[in-house]
């Protein structure tokens, strides 16, 4: 037993090293370390598997090994390990976690290209959830998220090129042309579409500079993975500019599953290191801000929520602001000040819709933290 415990601790040490390598962008090293950790943890789990009464240790180890199989892109092995665990009598809480791993394994299969050849500058987006059927999903679930990823790539490319953040930037024509969005016909899976950021045929890459769009997409996927892992401090270090940081976090929340109709959003792209996949499973409310931004200007007031119709926006004032007409309660429009980085890409698409705005008060002003469209009350 002590030998198995030592082997398990060794596997967890390898996982820590793999995560550290992945955070720094050293994916080749991370891949090798995850594989070593998986092999070690699988050996421990399979040694415990015959003892079906040794719970919860048995199912915890099998769940750990199955999760590491996902990190190694070995979906079939993840399915097998979950099946072994569920064949026993795991505690209900762990059984639910095992089913979540199984759902992720199934979804990862949909992220695979299945005969579709992605060119540099293209990505495949896949959705799964209760509102997603075999090849069918609501248009706003699919194309709204495709537009969100397009905005993420454009803003990331601007940041990498050294442009200061501007809500309405005046950029060279090649940049504007290179940011157009082209979507291929959807394919039956969970629901999968291929998207190109650029122009048909790929004769003009983002910013008119070959490879720039590919690098931006690769960076977007790295940052999404950090947000989904809850590594907000690392994300804040990677995106040092506050406005770009707010913009990326807001767009990631828009991309995220709602937990009801859409449970997972996945991306597959061809980057500098080859094919990459990332799965976004956190809902928008589970995606926080970075520690630096949470501590900087939060103010003394508690969080306030405003529910109403977004009917006014002013981008000419030094402090950009919107007005929301409440559905009920307060009389008159509520003025909300919008921090830099949120007006065009986050707030703009919600014009004339019923929204829920999460705000905090600072020196008698309401400052926007997050905003989302909601179903209009009957």
Q: Which of 184-198, 254-268, 309-323 has the lowest mean pLDDT?
A: 184-198
Strands (DSSP E) contained in 54-153 are 122-128
> What pLDDT shows up at residue 319?
63
Same domain for 74 and 220, yes or no, is: no
Q: Which positions ≥6 away from 331 have C-beta within 8 Å?
A: none
Q: Specify the residue for token string 């955070």.
A: 23
Q: Which of 40-44, 85-89, 187-191, 345-349 has the lowest mean pLDDT?
A: 187-191
Q: Which positions ≥6 away from 114 have C-beta within 8 Å?
A: 187, 189
Same domain for 138 and 285, yes or no, is: yes
Is the previous residue joined to 55 through a cis bond, with omega within 30 degrees of 0?
no
Q: Residue 358 in contact with residue 298, Cβ under 8 Å?
A: no
Same domain for 271 and 191, yes or no, is: yes
Q: Specify the residue for token string 């003892």.
A: 51
Crossing angle for the helix pair 242-255 and 212-228, nearest 10 degrees?
Answer: 70
Same domain for 287 and 302, yes or no, is: no
Instruction: Give the domain-ending residue among 270, 291, 312.
Output: 291
Q: Which of 40-44, 106-110, 117-121, 181-185 has the lowest mean pLDDT?
A: 181-185
Residue 163 φ/ψ, nearest 5 degrees: -75, 135
Q: 212 or 12, which is more confident?
A: 12
The token pair that represents 49 in the structure block: 């598997």
Any domain includes 56: yes
DSSP character for 133?
A: -
Same domain for 308 and 285, yes or no, is: no
* N-term to C-term CA, the chain: 61
Q: What is the mean pLDDT of residues 138-150?
A: 82
Query: Left if phi > 0, otherwise alpha if psi is -120 to 50, otherwise beta: which for 207?
Result: left
DSSP character for 163?
A: P
Q: Long-range pairs for 92-99 at CB < 8 Å and ≥24 separation?
A: 94/56, 94/59, 94/60, 94/63, 95/59, 97/63, 98/59, 98/62, 98/63, 98/66
**In what order do the strands lie in the sheet containing 264-271?**
181-183, 192-197, 122-128, 264-271, 274-280
Q: What is the mean pLDDT of residues 227-239?
A: 91
CATH number for the domain spanning 93: value is 1.25.40
- Considering the chain, what is the average pLDDT of its residues? 80
What is the tens place of the pLDDT at every residue in 44-94? 999 999 988 899 999 999 999 999 998 887 888 999 999 999 999 999 999
The answer on pLDDT for 356 being more than 60 is yes
What is the tens place of the pLDDT at every residue in 194-220? 776 654 444 434 444 445 667 888 899
DSSP character for 207?
A: G
Task: Give the residues across from 194 on adjacent strands.
Answer: 124
Any domain includes 116: no
Q: Which of 62-71, 127-136, 320-329 has the lowest mean pLDDT?
A: 127-136
Q: Which positions ≥6 away from 26 have C-beta within 8 Å?
A: none
Q: 22 or 222, which is more confident?
A: 222
Same domain for 29 and 79, yes or no, is: yes
- Top-confidence range, 80-94, 176-190, 289-303, 319-333: 80-94
Same domain for 150 and 260, yes or no, is: yes
- At 109, the pLDDT band (50, 70, 90 cuts) reads low
Crossing angle for the helix pair 57-71 and 75-86, nearest 10 degrees?
Answer: 170
Any domain includes 269: yes
The token pair that represents 74 in the structure block: 């070995």
Q: Which of 101-105, 130-134, 220-224 has the lowest mean pLDDT?
A: 130-134
* Rounded Cα gap, residues 16 and 18, in angstroms: 5
Q: Residue 251 in contact with residue 148, Cβ under 8 Å?
A: yes
Same domain for 94 and 57, yes or no, is: yes
CB atoms under 10 Å from CB of 43, counted, come to 14
Find the domain containing 356 and state its range: 298-373
Same domain for 133 and 278, yes or no, is: yes
Number of domains comprising the chain: 3
> What pLDDT shows up at residue 252?
96
Crossing angle for the helix pair 92-111 and 75-86, nearest 10 degrees?
Answer: 160
Q: Residue 192 in contact with residue 124, Cβ under 8 Å?
A: yes
Q: 162 or 177, which is more confident?
A: 162
Task: State the pairing for strand pair 321-326/334-337.
Answer: antiparallel
> What pLDDT shows up at residue 377?
56
Residue 67 φ/ψ, nearest 5 degrees: -65, -40
What is the tens place of the pLDDT at every residue in 268-303? 887 666 778 888 999 998 998 764 444 444 445 578
Same domain for 239 and 312, yes or no, is: no
* Rounded Cα gap, residues 69 and 11, in angstroms: 13
């Amino acid at each position: 037993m002590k030998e198995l415990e030592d082997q398990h601790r060794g596997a967890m040490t390898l996982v820590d090293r793999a995560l550290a390598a992945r955070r720094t962008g050293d994916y080749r090293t991370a891949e090798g370390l995850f594989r070593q950790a998986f092999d070690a943890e699988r050996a421990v789990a399979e040694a415990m598997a015959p003892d079906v009464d040794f719970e919860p240790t048995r199912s915890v180890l099998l769940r750990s090994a199955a999760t590491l199989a996902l990190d190694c892109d070995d979906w079939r092995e993840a399915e097998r390990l979950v099946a072994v665990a569920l064949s026993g009598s795991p505690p209900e809480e762990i059984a639910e976690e095992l089913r979540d791993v199984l759902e992720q394994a199934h979804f990862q299969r949909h992220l695979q290209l299945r005969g579709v050849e992605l060119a540099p500058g293209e990505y495949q987006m896949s959705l799964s959830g209760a509102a997603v059927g075999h090849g069918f999903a609501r248009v706003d679930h699919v194309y709204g998220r495709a537009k969100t990823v397009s905005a993420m790539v454009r803003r990331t490319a601007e940041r990498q090129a050294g442009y200061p953040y501007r809500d309405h930037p005046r950029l060279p024509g090649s940049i504007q042309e290179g940011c157009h969005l082209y979507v291929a016909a959807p394919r039956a899976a969970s629901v999968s579409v291929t998207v190109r950021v650029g122009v048909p045929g790929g004769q003009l890459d983002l910013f008119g500079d070959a490879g720039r769009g590919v690098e931006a997409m690769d960076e977007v996927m790295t940052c999404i993975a950090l947000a989904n892992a809850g590594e907000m401090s690392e994300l804040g270090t990677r995106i040092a500019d506050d406005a770009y940081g707010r913009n990326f976090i807001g767009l990631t929340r828009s991309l995220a599953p709602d937990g009801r109709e859409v449970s997972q959003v996945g991306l597959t792209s061809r980057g500098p290191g080859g094919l990459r996949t990332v799965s976004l499973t956190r809902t928008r409310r589970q995606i926080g801000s970075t520690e630096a931004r949470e501590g900087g200007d939060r103010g003394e007031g508690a969080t306030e929520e405003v529910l109403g119709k977004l009917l006014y926006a002013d981008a000419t004032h030094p402090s950009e602001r919107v007005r929301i007409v409440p559905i009920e309660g307060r009389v008159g429009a509520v003025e909300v000040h919008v921090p830099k980085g949120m007006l065009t890409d986050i707030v703009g698409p919600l014009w004339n819709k019923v929204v829920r705005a999460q705000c905090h008060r600072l020196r008698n002003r309401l400052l926007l933290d997050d905003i989302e469209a909601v179903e209009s009350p009957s």
